[in-house]
Each structure stands twice: as C-alpha cells, then as structure tokens.
C-alpha cells in the first residue's frame, strides 16, 4: 500500500475545521455511560445510541472521522445501512479501535501495558473489508510521583507496542492513531504531568523511528498537559495551553501531520477552552485538533437519556459540541458561543 494513501487519509482526518469523534467505547465502557442515564446496555440500545450520533444532520461539517468499536463497525442503521457505509457516504472516515485494552504489567505494580498485537495483521485485513480507513490503539501511562511512576520500563513497553501496531496498520494502508495517554488521575501538579508526557513522547518517537513507521502517515492522539484531577492547585487554561504546546514543540517531529487530543475526563467546556487556547499560540507546525469521546458525547447522552422521543435533543447537543470544538481548533471559539444554536 502506497505511502501517499496514508498521507492523504491522515490529512483528511486532521483537515482544517474538523476533528474526530471517538465513539469506540468497549462494551464495558459504554455500559457505564448508559448506566449513568439509567439505560440498559443491550445490543439494541448500544446500536440505537450510535445511530443517534452518526445520523446527526450536518455532523460532517465538523467531524472528519469516527472511531468505532468492533461491535459497532458490524452494526447498521434502522434502515439497514452499515454504519461504516453511512459515515463514508457523509464524507466521514470510519475508523476502528484495535487494541484489546490495558492490562496489569507483570513486575510493575500499578502500571499497565496495552494488549492486542496477536493476530492483529489478520484483524486489520478484515477491518479494511468492513470499511475502516484508520485505527486506534491507546496506551495508558499512570502517574504516582511517590511510587516513581511512570517507570521507564512501563513507558518503553507501551511505546514498543504502539510502534508495532502502527507499523502493521501502515502495511495494510490504514492510518494509525497513536494514542499515548498520560492519565489525569492523581494529585500531581502540572509540572509532573509535563515531565511524564515528555518522557512518554521521547520513548514513543524513538520506537516509531526504530520500527520504521512513516511519521507522515500517523495521527498523534495525546493527553494535554494538565494538573492531576485532585491536585489542590489547578493550572489555568493558559498555563495548560503553554505547557502542552511547549512539550509538543520540543518532542513531536514536524513530519507528523496532526495532533488530535483526547479529552481524558475534562469537562466538555474545559476541553474546548484548552483547544482554543492552544491554537491561539500558533502558528503551529502541525494541525492541532480534537479526537474527543466524553467531551463530545456527555451532553448528548444526557439530552437523549435513552428515550426514543429525545433523539433529536441528543443530536442537537452533539452538534453543538462538535461545532464549538471545530471553532476552537480554528481559533474562533469564545465562551459566549456556548449558548448558541447547534
């Protein structure tokens, strides 16, 4: 598969004004989301919820790609159009989560390694047949300053796995979203998150180079540099933007076409404000956009509440957040827009 194909897909994923919707929650994670609105996590309800998201009229104006889960890429609309086909017909690239989750790393208490490499080549071939143009793999890095986490060992095994995954994706013509997530969990300060993020990115790009991954054909999906969730002193929006852009300028080669952030537990409004503040610090050498899960879906889930007669409310809520994040990635978001029409 030609490198140009990868470059073209990656460019489309981070195209100006658009970002990525992460709707690839595993069955267990979507179960928790549905439980939060007192809705049973049946196959029918999971399908109905994803249909609400993907059929929102005009979503393609703000969304370039949607990350699907294995169950979801095999599902279809009420009118029997496969979700991947529906998205493609709207000009939205279908993507697929291919890792099988973070598992305890033997010998490294409190740290994890993401699994899913066995049989991945064959699975990728099947996902291409099902319409996937890009994939996602999430590595999870845990901070605990007192315990010396993240350890160099855990950072390295996760970077190694990400690079192996990325190389396999490129072999079959799928663009890998490379996601090293340094978690917000903990009471650490901004500087500690910055150091852990720097350590993670340093190891990641060394592994990507060593394993011959074409940087022009990936999309990086990192955490922002933020204060730990329970840190008594929370960094301001400007401090977050400056620390995040600083670490990326130092460590992410300009060959990478785009950085699409995860929201990681930030509130929808904070995730948008941070994205705007980072784009204010431009010009930047890469596209800087969003690949949010919770920050795009939280208000939509609440508005829908599992009620068939509230599908349109859920869609309006999704479209509002998509539009605001599109504005933020273009540097035109202002908090006054929060009350605007979807």
Contacts to ligand 13P by CB under 6 A:
22, 138, 179, 262-264, 292-295
For residue 218, give the nearest of 3, 18, 10, 63 by alpha carbon.
10
Q: How far is the CB of 33 from ligand 13P (least distance, A)?
A: 10
Residue closer to ligand 13P by CB (options 68, 252) is 68
Q: Which is nearer to ligand 13P, 65 or 150 (CB)?
A: 65
- For 37, the token pair is 């609105």
> CB 237: neighbour CB atoms within 10 A?
14
233 among known catalytic residues: no
Cis check: omega of the bond before 283, within 30 degrees of 0: yes
179: annotated active-site residue: yes
| Residue nearer to ligand 13P on the CB measure, 158 or 263 | 263
Q: Which of 181, 194, 221, 298 is catalytic?
A: 221
- Tell me the H-state helices in the chain: 3-13, 27-35, 43-54, 70-73, 83-89, 120-129, 152-171, 190-210, 237-251, 268-280, 294-304, 311-330
Shortest distance in whole angstroms from residue 59 CB to ligand 13P: 17
Cβ closest to ligand 13P, residue 89 vs residue 136: 136
Please say whether the dihedral angle defined by the alpha carbons of residues 339, 236, 248 and 284, taken in this order, is positive or negative.
positive
Contacts of 207 (CB under 8 A, 6+ apart): 156, 159, 160, 162, 163
Q: CB of residue 278 vs ligand 13P: minimum separation in angstroms?
A: 15
CB 201 within 8 A of CB 247: yes
Q: Which is nearer to ligand 13P, 52 or 295 (CB)?
A: 295
The least CB distance from residue 174 to ligand 13P, in Å, is 16
**Among the options 179, 194, 287, 298, which is catalytic?**
179
CB of 309 vs ligand 13P, minimal distance in Å:
27
> Is the distance from CB of 103 to CB of 77 less than 8 angstroms?
no
Contacting residues for 32 by C-beta, under 8 A, at least 6 apart:
none
The catalytic site residues sit at: 179, 221
């Amino acid at each position: 598969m030609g490198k140009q194909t990868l470059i073209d897909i990656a460019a489309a994923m981070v195209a100006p004004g658009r970002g990525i919707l992460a709707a690839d929650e595993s069955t267990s994670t979507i179960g928790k989301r549905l439980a939060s609105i007192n809705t049973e996590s049946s196959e029918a309800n999971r399908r109905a919820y994803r249909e609400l998201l993907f059929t929102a009229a005009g979503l393609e104006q703000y969304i370039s790609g949607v990350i699907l889960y294995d169950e979801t890429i095999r599902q279809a609309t009420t009118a029997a159009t496969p979700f991947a086909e529906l998205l493609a017909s709207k000009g939205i690239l279908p993507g697929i989560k291919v890792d099988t989750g973070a598992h305890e790393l033997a010998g490294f208490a409190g740290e994890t390694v993401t699994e899913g490499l066995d049989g991945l080549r064959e699975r990728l071939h099947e996902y291409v047949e099902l319409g996937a143009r890009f994939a996602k793999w999430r590595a999870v890095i845990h901070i605990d300053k007192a315990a010396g986490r993240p350890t160099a060992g855990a950072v390295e095994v996760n970077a190694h796995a990400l690079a192996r995954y990325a190389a396999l994706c490129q072999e079959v013509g799928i663009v890998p979203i490379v996601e090293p997530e340094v978690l917000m969990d903990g009471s650490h300060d901004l500087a500690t998150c910055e150091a852990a993020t720097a350590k993670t990115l340093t190891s990641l790009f060394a592994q990507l180079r060593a394993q011959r991954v074409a940087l022009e054909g990936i999309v990086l999906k990192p955490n922002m540099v933020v204060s730990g969730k329970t840190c008594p002193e929370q960094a301001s929006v400007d401090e977050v933007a400056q620390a995040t852009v600083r670490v990326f300028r130092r460590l992410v080669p300009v060959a990478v076409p785009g950085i699409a952030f995860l929201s990681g537990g930030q509130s929808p409004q904070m995730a948008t404000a941070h994205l705007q503040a980072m784009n204010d610090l431009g010009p930047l050498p890469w596209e800087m956009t969003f690949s949010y899960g919770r920050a795009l879906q939280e208000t939509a889930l609440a508005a829908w509440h599992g009620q068939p007669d509230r599908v349109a409310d859920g869609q309006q809520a999704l479209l509002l957040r998509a539009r605001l994040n599109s504005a933020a990635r273009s540097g035109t978001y202002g908090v006054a827009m929060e009350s605007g029409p979807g």
